[in-house]
């Protein structure tokens, strides 16, 4: 098995910049790609801010931060991927977008390069089939926020070979992540359980069972959850929650996975959570205020 030294990450958003962050701290040279300089600048600012917070909490030293920041190179092209050992896709949760990205990545990377996707719900086998190396393709589902969350779901596609799987375990270990193996079924483990719970909370709001505040308070104090399901939905992104529910509904053909109409309405309005300034809470003031 070839040693992983250089990692390419496609997507500088919420997940991609987090993946670049932990890879750089683990000693990998990182090539971070996105479609615009603006997205890359924002991603690097987030990485710097998050590492600065880690320094203030004595999680890393100033020297480790400086060295890690210096390991990350950014570009709107895939030229830097010409010598990466592992390419990770961390773009939006839309199958068509991911498939197009992997076509471009396959044309840019050498034959030895492993491919991974950070998808939270889409079939690994299906994505792998669009590449020229399905045996070197694997799902590496990081949790958000990546620098803080310990878990990584590892998902093998039908064609994923043992060498690629062992590479994934070694890579996760170097990132100090705990792995859990999930079979290649819609939404894997975490989101198969979590997102339908969020969808049910939205149904409770939709049907008038409770308000945003009462539902979140009930689950925080009644089930000891660190944050309520509607607050968590805003943190994840309502568009991502909807995409996962649609994958579950389409892939399993069970009405219990039908996305709540209110969730659809919020996404149609562009109120997709914290990243948009509004979701089930309005974040534009000094403190979040429920929108229903």
Beta bridge partners of 116: 88, 138
State percent of the chain over pLDDT 90.
97
Domain around 97: 6-182
Let me know if residue 238 belongs to a domain. Answer: yes
Structural domain ending residue among the three candidates 138, 159, 182: 182
**pLDDT for res 93:** 86
Which residue is catalytic, options 118, 121, 123, 191? 191
Structural domain ending residue among the three candidates 182, 203, 221: 182
Question: Do 175 and 222 sit in the same domain of this protein?
Answer: no
Let me know if residue 158 belongs to a domain. Answer: yes
pTM > 0.85: yes or no = yes
Split at pLDDT 50, 70, 90, the class of 1 is very low
Which residue is catalytic, options 120, 121, 199, 243? 120
Let me know if residue 289 belongs to a domain. Answer: no
Domain count, the chain: 2
**pLDDT for res 100:** 96
Let me know if residue 1 belongs to a domain. Answer: no
Structural domain ending residue among the three candidates 182, 206, 226: 182
pLDDT digits (tens, 9 = 90+) for 33-84: 999 999 999 999 999 999 999 999 999 999 999 999 999 999 999 999 999 9
Handedness of CA 168, 174, 175, 176 (dihedral sign): positive
2 is annotated as an active-site residue: no
CB 273 within 8 A of CB 236: yes
Question: Do 37 and 98 sit in the same domain of this protein?
Answer: yes
Question: Do 159 and 226 sit in the same domain of this protein?
Answer: no
Question: Do 85 and 195 sit in the same domain of this protein?
Answer: no
Question: Do 107 and 230 sit in the same domain of this protein?
Answer: no
* Averaged pLDDT for residues 134-158: 97
**pLDDT for res 44:** 98
Which residue is catalytic, options 93, 153, 199, 243? 153
153 is annotated as an active-site residue: yes
Let me know if residue 165 belongs to a domain. Answer: yes
**pLDDT for res 3:** 86
Residue 136: count other Cβ atoms within 10 Å of its Cβ.
22
Query: Which tokens in the block code for residue 255?
Result: 């009405």
Let me know if residue 162 belongs to a domain. Answer: yes
* Averaged pLDDT for residues 123-129: 97
pLDDT digits (tens, 9 = 90+) for 161-189: 999 999 999 999 999 999 999 999 999 99
Question: Do 207 and 159 sit in the same domain of this protein?
Answer: no
CATH label of the domain that carries residue 158: 3.40.50.720
């Amino acid at each position: 098995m070839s040693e992983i030294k250089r990692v390419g990450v496609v997507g500088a958003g919420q997940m991609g910049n987090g993946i670049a962050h932990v890879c750089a701290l683990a000693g990998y040279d990182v090539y971070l790609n996105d479609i615009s300089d603006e997205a890359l600048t924002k991603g690097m600012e987030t990485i710097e801010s998050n590492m600065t917070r880690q320094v203030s909490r004595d999680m890393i030293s100033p020297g480790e931060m400086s060295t890690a920041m210096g390991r990350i190179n950014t570009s709107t092209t895939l030229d830097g991927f010409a010598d990466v050992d592992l390419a990770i896709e961390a773009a939006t949760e839309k199958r068509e977008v991911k498939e197009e990205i992997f076509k471009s990545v396959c044309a840019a990377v050498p034959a030895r390069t492993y491919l991974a996707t950070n998808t939270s719900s889409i079939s690994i086998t299906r994505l792998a089939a669009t590449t020229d190396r399905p045996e070197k393709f694997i799902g590496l589902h990081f949790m958000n926020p990546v620098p803080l969350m310990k878990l990584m779901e590892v998902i093998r596609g039908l064609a994923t070979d043992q060498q690629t799987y062992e590479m994934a375990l070694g890579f996760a270990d170097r990132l100090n992540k705990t792995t859990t193996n999930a079979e290649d079924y819609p939404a894997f483990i975490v989101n198969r359980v979590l997102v339908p719970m969020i969808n049910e909370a939205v149904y409770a709001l939709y049907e008038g069972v409770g308000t945003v505040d009462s539902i979140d308070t009930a689950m925080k104090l009644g089930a000891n959850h660190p944050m309520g399901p509607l607050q968590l939905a805003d943190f994840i992104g309502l568009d991502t929650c909807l995409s996962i529910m649609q994958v579950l509904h389409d892939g399993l053909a069970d009405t219990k996975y039908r996305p709540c109409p209110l969730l659809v309405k919020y996404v149609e309005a562009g109120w997709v959570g914290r990243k948009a300034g509004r979701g089930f809470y309005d974040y534009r003031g000094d403190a979040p205020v429920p929108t229903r």
